[in-house]
Structure 1
Amino acid sequence: MIHITLPDGSVQQVEAGMTAAELASKISSRLGKEALAVKIDGVPRDLSTTLEHDCSVEILTFHSKVGAEIYRHSTSHLMAQAVQELFPGTKIAIGPAIEDGFYYDFEVGQPFTPEDLERIEQKMAELVEADLPYTRKELSKEEAIADFGSRGEKYKVEILQELPDGERISEYQQGTFVDLCRGPHIPSTGKIRAFKLLTIAGAYWRGDERNPMLQRIYGTSFPSKSALTQHLDRLEEAKRRDHRKLGKELDLFSIHQDAGAGLIYWHPKGAMLRRVVEDFWKDVHLERGYELVTIPHIAHSSLWRTSGHYDFYRDNMYTLSIDDDEYVLKPMNCPGHILIYQTQIRSYRDLPIRYAELGTVYRYERSGTLHGMLRVRGFTQDDAHIFCTPEQVFDEIVGVLNLTEYMLKAFGFDRYEVELSVRDPQHPEKYAGSDENWELAEQALIKALQHKGLSYTRMEGEAVFYGPKIDTKLIDALGRGWQGPTTQFDFNLPGRFDVNYIGEDGKKHHVYMIHRTVLGSMERFIGALIEHYAGAFPLWLAPVQIKILPIGLRHSDYAANVAAQLQKAKFRVELDTHDEKISQKIRIAQREQVPYMVIIGDKEFANHTLSLRHRRKGDLGSLTMEQLIRQLSDEEV
Structure 2
Amino acid sequence: MSDVRVIIQRDSEREERVVTTGTTAADLFVGERSIIAARVGGELKDLSYVLSDGEEVEGVEISSEDGLGILRHSTAHVMAQAVQELFPEAKLGIGPPVKDGFYYDFDVEKPFTPEDLKAIEKKMQEIQKRGQKFARRVVTDEAAREELAAEPYKLELIGLKGAASSDDGADVEVGAGELTIYDNLDAKTGELCWKDLCRGPHLPSTRAIPAFKLMRNAAAYWRGSEKNPMLQRIYGTAWPSKDELKAHLDFLAEAEKRDHRKLGNELDLFSIPEQIGSGLAVFHPKGGIVRRVMEDYSRRRHEEEGYEFVYTPHATKGKLFETSGHLDWYAEGMYPPMQLDEGVDYYLKPMNCPMHNLIFDARGRSYRELPLRLFEFGTVYRYEKSGVVHGLTRARGFTQDDAHIYCTREQMSDELDRTLTFVLGLLRDYGLTDFYLELSTKDPEKFVGSDEVWEEATETLRQVAEKQGLPLVPDPGGAAFYGPKISVQAKDAIGRTWQMSTIQLDFNLPERFDLEYTSADGSKQRPVMIHRALFGSIERFFAVLLEHYAGAFPAWLAPVQAIGIPIGDGHVDYLEKFAAAAKKKGLRVEVDSSSDRMQKKIRNAQKQKVPFMVIAGDEDMANNAVSFRYRDGSQENGIPFDAAIAKIATVVEERAQV
**TM-score, normalised relative to structure 2:** 0.90
Instruction: Out of 343-352 and 14-23, give the one that drifted further.
Output: 14-23
Distance 1:349 1:45 in 2: 62
Q: In the alignment, which of 325, 328, 344 is matched to residue 347 of structure 2? A: 328
2:172 corresponds to: none
Q: Is there any run of 5+ residues in structure 1 with no aligned partner, and where?
A: none
Q: Indicate how the Cα distance of structure 1 residues 159 and 442 shifts in structure 2: closer, same or farther if over 3 A, else same.
A: farther
Q: Indicate how the Cα distance of structure 1 residues 220 and 15 shifts in structure 2: closer, same or farther if over 3 A, else same.
A: same
Shift of 1:265: 0.7
Are residue 408 (structure 1) and residue 427 (structure 2) matched?
yes
Q: Deviations over 1:384-434 (max 9, x none)?
A: 112222233222332233223222322222223433222344xx2x32222
Superposed counterparts of 1:283-294, under 5 Å? 283-294=300-311
1:521 corresponds to: 537
2:390 corresponds to: 371
Shift of 1:383: 1.4
Shift of 1:61: 1.8
Q: In the alignment, which of 273, 286, 291 is matched to residue 256 of structure 1? A: 273
Q: In the alignment, which of 240, 258, 265 is matched to residue 241 of structure 1? A: 258
1:437 corresponds to: 453
Distance 1:363 1:106 in 2: 31
Shift of 1:50: 4.7
2:609 corresponds to: 593
Distance 2:138 2:412 in 1: 50
1:213 corresponds to: 230
Q: Deviations over 1:463-494 (max 9, x none)?
A: 22222222232211221122222222222211
Distance 2:503 2:556 in 1: 28
Distance 1:509 1:49 in 2: 62
Superposed counterparts of 1:235-634, under 5 Å? 235-318=252-335, 319-323=337-341, 324-425=343-444, 428=445, 430-634=446-650
Q: Indicate how the Cα distance of structure 1 residues 455 and 36 shifts in structure 2: closer, same or farther if over 3 A, else same.
A: farther
Distance 1:625 1:477 in 2: 35
Helix, strand or coil: the match of 1:110? coil
Instruction: Out of 481-490 and 540-549, give the one that drifted further.
Output: 481-490
Shift of 1:313: 0.9
Shift of 1:542: 0.9
Q: Is there any run of 5+ residues in structure 2 with no aligned partner, and where?
A: 164-174, 185-192
Asked if 1 retains the 8 angstrom alpha-carbon contact of 2:408 and 2:527, the reply is yes
**Matched residue type, 2:71:** Y
Q: Indicate how the Cα distance of structure 1 residues 15 and 292 shifts in structure 2: closer, same or farther if over 3 A, else same.
A: farther
Count of aligned pairs between the two proteins: 627
Q: By percentage of residues, which structure has more helix?
A: 1
Identity %: 48
Distance 1:41 1:283 in 2: 57
Distance 2:57 2:472 in 1: 23
Are residue 94 (structure 1) and residue 80 (structure 2) matched?
no
Q: Indicate how the Cα distance of structure 1 residues 456 and 57 shifts in structure 2: closer, same or farther if over 3 A, else same.
A: farther
**Matched residue type, 1:617:** G
1:72 corresponds to: 72
Distance 1:457 1:186 in 2: 30
**Matched residue type, 1:560:** E
Distance 2:536 2:111 in 1: 38
Helix, strand or coil: the match of 1:489? strand
Helix, strand or coil: the match of 1:15? strand
Are residue 158 (structure 1) and residue 156 (structure 2) matched?
yes
Distance 1:353 1:47 in 2: 60
**Matched residue type, 1:132:** Q
Q: Indicate how the Cα distance of structure 1 residues 325 and 226 shifts in structure 2: closer, same or farther if over 3 A, else same.
A: same
Helix, strand or coil: the match of 1:420? strand
**Matched residue type, 2:135:** T
Instruction: Out of 324-333 and 91-100, give the one that drifted further.
Output: 91-100
Q: In the alignment, which of 135, 155, 168 is matched to residue 177 of structure 2? A: 168
Shift of 1:109: 2.1
Shift of 1:40: 4.1
Helix, strand or coil: the match of 1:519? coil
Q: Deviations over 1:257-309 (max 9, x none)?
A: 12211101100111111111111211222222222221111111000011111
Distance 1:337 1:522 in 2: 19
Are residue 225 (structure 1) and residue 242 (structure 2) matched?
yes
Asked if 2 retains the 8 angstrom alpha-carbon contact of 1:320 and 1:326, the reply is yes
Helix, strand or coil: the match of 1:134? strand
Helix, strand or coil: the match of 2:195? strand
Asked if 2 retains the 8 angstrom alpha-carbon contact of 1:333 and 1:383, the reply is yes
Q: Indicate how the Cα distance of structure 1 residues 88 and 518 shifts in structure 2: closer, same or farther if over 3 A, else same.
A: same
Asked if 1 retains the 8 angstrom alpha-carbon contact of 2:435 and 2:470, the reply is no
Q: Deviations over 1:479-523 (max 9, x none)?
A: 112222222222221111112223345332322222122221111
Distance 1:352 1:306 in 2: 24
Q: Indicate how the Cα distance of structure 1 residues 452 and 3 shifts in structure 2: closer, same or farther if over 3 A, else same.
A: farther
**Matched residue type, 1:194:** A
Shift of 1:147: 4.1
Q: Indicate how the Cα distance of structure 1 residues 626 and 452 shifts in structure 2: closer, same or farther if over 3 A, else same.
A: same
Distance 1:192 1:302 in 2: 57
Are residue 12 (structure 1) and residue 21 (structure 2) matched?
no
Distance 2:523 2:59 in 1: 58
2:189 corresponds to: none
Asked if 1 retains the 8 angstrom alpha-carbon contact of 2:139 and 2:181, the reply is no
Shift of 1:126: 1.8
**Matched residue type, 2:177:** R
Distance 1:404 1:55 in 2: 49
Helix, strand or coil: the match of 2:89? coil
Asked if 2 retains the 8 angstrom alpha-carbon contact of 1:197 and 1:217, the reply is yes
**TM-score, normalised relative to structure 1:** 0.93
Q: Indicate how the Cα distance of structure 1 residues 336 and 42 shifts in structure 2: closer, same or farther if over 3 A, else same.
A: farther
**Matched residue type, 1:161:** G
Asked if 1 retains the 8 angstrom alpha-carbon contact of 2:437 and 2:465, the reply is no
Distance 1:19 1:139 in 2: 21
Q: Deviations over 1:12-43 (max 9, x none)?
A: 11237654444445xxx4xx211133334544
Instruction: Out of 257-266 and 14-23, give the one that drifted further.
Output: 14-23
Asked if 1 retains the 8 angstrom alpha-carbon contact of 2:6 and 2:52, the reply is no
Asked if 1 retains the 8 angstrom alpha-carbon contact of 2:133 and 2:205, the reply is yes
Distance 1:222 1:627 in 2: 54
Distance 1:322 1:92 in 2: 48
Q: Indicate how the Cα distance of structure 1 residues 281 and 555 shifts in structure 2: closer, same or farther if over 3 A, else same.
A: same
Q: Deviations over 1:61-86 (max 9, x none)?
A: 23322322222122112111111121
**Matched residue type, 1:244:** R
Helix, strand or coil: the match of 2:387? helix
Distance 2:181 2:143 in 1: 14
Distance 2:308 2:26 in 1: 60
Asked if 1 retains the 8 angstrom alpha-carbon contact of 2:76 and 2:96, the reply is yes
Distance 1:529 1:280 in 2: 15
